[in-house]
Amino acid sequence: MRRECFAAHWDEFDTGLERALCWRGRNYAALLPKPLSGADKDVCPAFVFALTSGSDLRRRDIVELALSVEYTYLSFRVHRFIREIKSAERERQYSVLFGDFFSAKVLTSLSGDLLYPQTCKYTEVMRTMNEGALLRRRLPPGSEDAAAWREVLLREKAALLLPARVIEEWRLFPREETQGLEGAAAELAVLWGAGEEGKPDLLRAGLAATEKAIAGTPPGLRENLRSFFLDLTAGLGARA
Protein backbone atom coordinates (compact mmCIF):
# COMPACT_ATOMS: atom_id res chain seq x y z
CA MET A 1 0.00 0.00 0.00
CA ARG A 2 1.24 3.47 -0.85
CA ARG A 3 2.06 5.55 2.20
CA GLU A 4 2.31 9.00 0.66
CA CYS A 5 -1.29 9.64 1.70
CA PHE A 6 -1.97 9.73 5.44
CA ALA A 7 1.79 9.70 6.13
CA ALA A 8 1.37 10.94 9.71
CA HIS A 9 -1.28 8.28 10.36
CA TRP A 10 1.02 5.57 9.03
CA ASP A 11 3.93 6.77 11.16
CA GLU A 12 1.82 6.62 14.30
CA PHE A 13 0.36 3.25 13.33
CA ASP A 14 3.79 1.73 12.60
CA THR A 15 5.06 2.97 15.95
CA GLY A 16 2.13 1.36 17.75
CA LEU A 17 2.48 -1.96 15.93
CA GLU A 18 6.24 -2.03 16.46
CA ARG A 19 5.69 -1.36 20.14
CA ALA A 20 3.33 -4.35 20.27
CA LEU A 21 5.73 -6.69 18.45
CA CYS A 22 8.92 -5.63 20.20
CA TRP A 23 10.07 -5.69 23.80
CA ARG A 24 13.47 -4.58 25.03
CA GLY A 25 14.70 -4.31 21.47
CA ARG A 26 13.64 -7.83 20.43
CA ASN A 27 11.20 -8.32 17.59
CA TYR A 28 8.98 -11.18 18.65
CA ALA A 29 7.48 -11.54 15.17
CA ALA A 30 10.76 -13.29 14.32
CA LEU A 31 9.58 -16.22 16.45
CA LEU A 32 6.65 -16.91 14.15
CA PRO A 33 7.08 -19.99 11.93
CA LYS A 34 5.93 -17.88 8.97
CA PRO A 35 6.59 -14.14 8.51
CA LEU A 36 3.73 -11.67 8.26
CA SER A 37 3.26 -10.47 4.70
CA GLY A 38 2.95 -6.84 3.66
CA ALA A 39 -0.76 -7.37 3.06
CA ASP A 40 -1.17 -8.85 6.54
CA LYS A 41 0.20 -5.65 8.04
CA ASP A 42 -1.06 -2.99 5.62
CA VAL A 43 -4.51 -3.76 4.20
CA CYS A 44 -6.59 -3.23 7.34
CA PRO A 45 -5.05 0.10 8.44
CA ALA A 46 -5.06 1.43 4.87
CA PHE A 47 -8.80 0.74 4.67
CA VAL A 48 -9.43 2.49 7.98
CA PHE A 49 -7.49 5.56 6.81
CA ALA A 50 -9.42 5.62 3.53
CA LEU A 51 -12.76 5.45 5.34
CA THR A 52 -11.99 8.12 7.92
CA SER A 53 -10.47 10.68 5.57
CA GLY A 54 -12.15 14.06 5.87
CA SER A 55 -13.91 13.15 9.10
CA ASP A 56 -13.72 15.10 12.33
CA LEU A 57 -12.04 12.23 14.15
CA ARG A 58 -8.73 13.00 15.79
CA ARG A 59 -5.70 11.26 14.26
CA ARG A 60 -5.10 9.51 17.58
CA ASP A 61 -8.59 8.00 17.46
CA ILE A 62 -8.23 6.97 13.82
CA VAL A 63 -4.94 5.20 14.58
CA GLU A 64 -6.48 3.52 17.62
CA LEU A 65 -9.26 2.17 15.40
CA ALA A 66 -6.73 1.04 12.79
CA LEU A 67 -4.63 -0.81 15.37
CA SER A 68 -7.66 -2.51 16.89
CA VAL A 69 -8.83 -3.71 13.46
CA GLU A 70 -5.31 -4.92 12.67
CA TYR A 71 -5.09 -6.83 15.95
CA THR A 72 -8.48 -8.40 15.21
CA TYR A 73 -7.23 -9.61 11.86
CA LEU A 74 -3.84 -10.77 13.16
CA SER A 75 -5.40 -12.76 16.00
CA PHE A 76 -7.11 -14.86 13.33
CA ARG A 77 -4.31 -14.82 10.77
CA VAL A 78 -1.54 -15.93 13.09
CA HIS A 79 -3.64 -18.76 14.51
CA ARG A 80 -4.07 -19.94 10.90
CA PHE A 81 -0.30 -20.46 10.58
CA ILE A 82 -0.74 -23.71 12.51
CA ARG A 83 -2.58 -25.31 9.59
CA GLU A 84 -0.71 -23.62 6.77
CA ILE A 85 2.78 -24.96 7.42
CA LYS A 86 4.47 -28.04 8.78
CA SER A 87 6.58 -27.16 11.78
CA ALA A 88 7.85 -28.49 15.07
CA GLU A 89 5.49 -28.44 18.04
CA ARG A 90 7.45 -25.64 19.66
CA GLU A 91 7.03 -23.44 16.59
CA ARG A 92 3.34 -24.29 16.41
CA GLN A 93 2.94 -23.07 19.96
CA TYR A 94 4.37 -19.69 18.98
CA SER A 95 1.47 -19.30 16.54
CA VAL A 96 -0.99 -20.18 19.28
CA LEU A 97 0.56 -17.79 21.76
CA PHE A 98 0.87 -14.92 19.29
CA GLY A 99 -2.69 -15.37 18.12
CA ASP A 100 -3.82 -15.24 21.74
CA PHE A 101 -1.61 -12.20 22.29
CA PHE A 102 -3.31 -10.29 19.48
CA SER A 103 -6.72 -11.31 20.84
CA ALA A 104 -5.66 -9.81 24.16
CA LYS A 105 -4.62 -6.62 22.37
CA VAL A 106 -8.13 -6.38 20.93
CA LEU A 107 -9.60 -6.70 24.42
CA THR A 108 -7.24 -3.98 25.65
CA SER A 109 -8.38 -1.68 22.84
CA LEU A 110 -12.02 -2.36 23.67
CA SER A 111 -11.49 -1.41 27.29
CA GLY A 112 -10.99 2.24 26.29
CA ASP A 113 -13.75 4.82 26.00
CA LEU A 114 -13.45 5.13 22.22
CA LEU A 115 -14.19 1.52 21.29
CA TYR A 116 -15.91 0.03 24.31
CA PRO A 117 -19.39 0.79 22.87
CA GLN A 118 -18.39 -1.20 19.75
CA THR A 119 -17.59 -4.44 21.61
CA CYS A 120 -20.46 -6.38 20.06
CA LYS A 121 -19.29 -5.50 16.56
CA TYR A 122 -15.80 -6.79 17.29
CA THR A 123 -16.99 -10.07 18.78
CA GLU A 124 -19.38 -10.58 15.86
CA VAL A 125 -16.60 -10.08 13.31
CA MET A 126 -14.23 -12.41 15.18
CA ARG A 127 -16.94 -15.07 15.22
CA THR A 128 -17.52 -14.55 11.50
CA MET A 129 -13.82 -14.99 10.72
CA ASN A 130 -13.75 -18.28 12.60
CA GLU A 131 -16.85 -19.40 10.72
CA GLY A 132 -14.82 -18.86 7.56
CA ALA A 133 -12.12 -21.20 8.83
CA LEU A 134 -14.75 -23.86 9.53
CA LEU A 135 -16.31 -23.44 6.08
CA ARG A 136 -12.84 -23.80 4.52
CA ARG A 137 -12.38 -27.14 6.27
CA ARG A 138 -15.71 -28.34 4.90
CA LEU A 139 -14.72 -27.64 1.29
CA PRO A 140 -14.00 -30.83 -0.68
CA PRO A 141 -10.30 -31.19 -1.55
CA GLY A 142 -9.52 -29.30 -4.74
CA SER A 143 -12.90 -27.59 -4.82
CA GLU A 144 -13.26 -24.75 -7.33
CA ASP A 145 -16.84 -23.89 -6.36
CA ALA A 146 -16.74 -20.10 -6.74
CA ALA A 147 -19.84 -19.51 -4.59
CA ALA A 148 -18.47 -21.66 -1.76
CA TRP A 149 -15.09 -19.96 -1.89
CA ARG A 150 -16.75 -16.55 -1.87
CA GLU A 151 -18.50 -17.44 1.40
CA VAL A 152 -15.22 -18.64 2.91
CA LEU A 153 -13.24 -15.56 1.91
CA LEU A 154 -15.97 -13.10 2.83
CA ARG A 155 -15.87 -14.48 6.36
CA GLU A 156 -12.12 -14.96 6.72
CA LYS A 157 -11.43 -11.38 5.61
CA ALA A 158 -14.35 -9.93 7.58
CA ALA A 159 -11.97 -7.63 9.45
CA LEU A 160 -12.59 -5.17 6.60
CA LEU A 161 -16.28 -5.08 7.53
CA LEU A 162 -15.42 -3.95 11.04
CA PRO A 163 -14.40 -0.30 10.38
CA ALA A 164 -17.37 0.14 8.03
CA ARG A 165 -19.75 -0.94 10.80
CA VAL A 166 -18.04 1.19 13.44
CA ILE A 167 -18.08 4.26 11.20
CA GLU A 168 -21.76 3.78 10.49
CA GLU A 169 -22.37 3.70 14.24
CA TRP A 170 -20.31 6.86 14.72
CA ARG A 171 -22.51 8.74 12.20
CA LEU A 172 -19.57 10.29 10.36
CA PHE A 173 -21.74 10.41 7.26
CA PRO A 174 -25.49 10.50 6.62
CA ARG A 175 -27.07 7.08 7.20
CA GLU A 176 -28.21 6.75 3.59
CA GLU A 177 -24.59 7.11 2.49
CA THR A 178 -23.00 4.75 5.01
CA GLN A 179 -25.26 1.92 3.90
CA GLY A 180 -23.00 1.43 0.90
CA LEU A 181 -19.80 1.15 2.94
CA GLU A 182 -20.34 -2.36 4.24
CA GLY A 183 -21.16 -3.61 0.74
CA ALA A 184 -17.92 -2.14 -0.59
CA ALA A 185 -16.00 -3.62 2.34
CA ALA A 186 -17.49 -7.06 1.62
CA GLU A 187 -16.46 -6.98 -2.04
CA LEU A 188 -12.96 -5.76 -1.15
CA ALA A 189 -12.66 -8.59 1.39
CA VAL A 190 -13.52 -11.22 -1.22
CA LEU A 191 -11.17 -9.60 -3.73
CA TRP A 192 -8.33 -9.63 -1.20
CA GLY A 193 -8.90 -13.28 -0.37
CA ALA A 194 -9.33 -14.37 -4.00
CA GLY A 195 -5.99 -12.82 -4.90
CA GLU A 196 -4.18 -14.48 -2.03
CA GLU A 197 -5.76 -17.86 -2.76
CA GLY A 198 -4.98 -17.68 -6.47
CA LYS A 199 -8.61 -17.84 -7.62
CA PRO A 200 -8.48 -15.97 -10.96
CA ASP A 201 -12.15 -16.45 -11.87
CA LEU A 202 -13.33 -15.17 -8.51
CA LEU A 203 -10.79 -12.35 -8.71
CA ARG A 204 -12.00 -11.23 -12.13
CA ALA A 205 -15.63 -11.31 -11.05
CA GLY A 206 -14.69 -9.37 -7.94
CA LEU A 207 -13.12 -6.50 -9.86
CA ALA A 208 -16.39 -5.47 -11.49
CA ALA A 209 -18.41 -6.09 -8.32
CA THR A 210 -16.04 -3.95 -6.28
CA GLU A 211 -16.09 -1.10 -8.78
CA LYS A 212 -19.89 -1.08 -8.62
CA ALA A 213 -19.91 -1.20 -4.82
CA ILE A 214 -17.48 1.71 -4.52
CA ALA A 215 -19.70 3.76 -6.83
CA GLY A 216 -22.41 3.50 -4.17
CA THR A 217 -20.29 4.90 -1.33
CA PRO A 218 -20.34 8.50 -0.02
CA PRO A 219 -19.08 10.93 -2.70
CA GLY A 220 -16.41 12.30 -0.39
CA LEU A 221 -14.90 8.84 0.11
CA ARG A 222 -14.96 7.44 -3.41
CA GLU A 223 -11.57 8.81 -4.43
CA ASN A 224 -9.86 7.36 -1.36
CA LEU A 225 -11.64 4.02 -1.75
CA ARG A 226 -10.74 3.94 -5.41
CA SER A 227 -7.07 4.53 -4.52
CA PHE A 228 -7.27 1.77 -1.91
CA PHE A 229 -8.85 -0.53 -4.49
CA LEU A 230 -6.11 0.18 -7.02
CA ASP A 231 -3.38 -0.43 -4.43
CA LEU A 232 -5.00 -3.69 -3.36
CA THR A 233 -5.40 -5.03 -6.89
CA ALA A 234 -1.85 -3.99 -7.80
CA GLY A 235 -0.58 -5.96 -4.81
CA LEU A 236 -2.60 -8.98 -5.91
CA GLY A 237 -1.25 -8.80 -9.44
CA ALA A 238 -4.71 -7.97 -10.81
CA ARG A 239 -5.69 -5.32 -13.30
CA ALA A 240 -8.47 -2.98 -12.19
Average pLDDT over residues 105-123: 96
Task: Quote the CA–CA distance of 75 and 29 in Å, as a whole number.
Answer: 13
For residues 42-51, one letter each, b for 16 or more C-beta atoms within 10 angstroms of the residue's C-beta and e for the rest, the string is: bbbbbbbbbb
Kindly report the backbone phi and psi dihedral angles of residue 212, in degrees, each rounded to the nearest multiple of 5, phi listed first: -65, -40
Q: Which CATH architecture group holds 7-235? A: Orthogonal Bundle (1.10)
Which letter does DSSP use for residue 35 in this model? P
Instruction: Give which of 56, 63, 54, 61 is closest to 225, Cα–Cα.
Output: 54
Looking at residue 239, its pLDDT comes to 45
Residue spans per domain, the chain: 7-235
Residue 80 has pLDDT above 80, yes or no: yes
Average pLDDT over residues 33-39: 86
Kindly report the backbone phi and psi dihedral angles of residue 138, in degrees, each rounded to the nearest multiple of 5, phi listed first: -85, -15
Average pLDDT over residues 201-223: 91
Q: Which residue has the higher pLDDT, 90 or 81?
A: 81
Kindly report the length of the chain: 240
Looking at residue 27, its pLDDT comes to 83
Looking at residue 43, its pLDDT comes to 97
Looking at residue 238, its pLDDT comes to 56
Query: What is the radius of gyration, based on Cα positions, of the chain?
Result: 17
Residue 166 has pLDDT above 90, yes or no: yes
Cα–Cα distances in angstroms (integers) from residue 2 to residues 5, 25, 162, 200, in the given order = 7, 27, 22, 24
**The one-letter amino acid at 210:** T
Average pLDDT over residues 65-79: 96
Task: Quote the CA–CA distance of 79 and 72 in Å, as a whole number.
Answer: 11
Task: Quote the CA–CA distance of 176 and 22 in Å, as a whole number.
Answer: 43
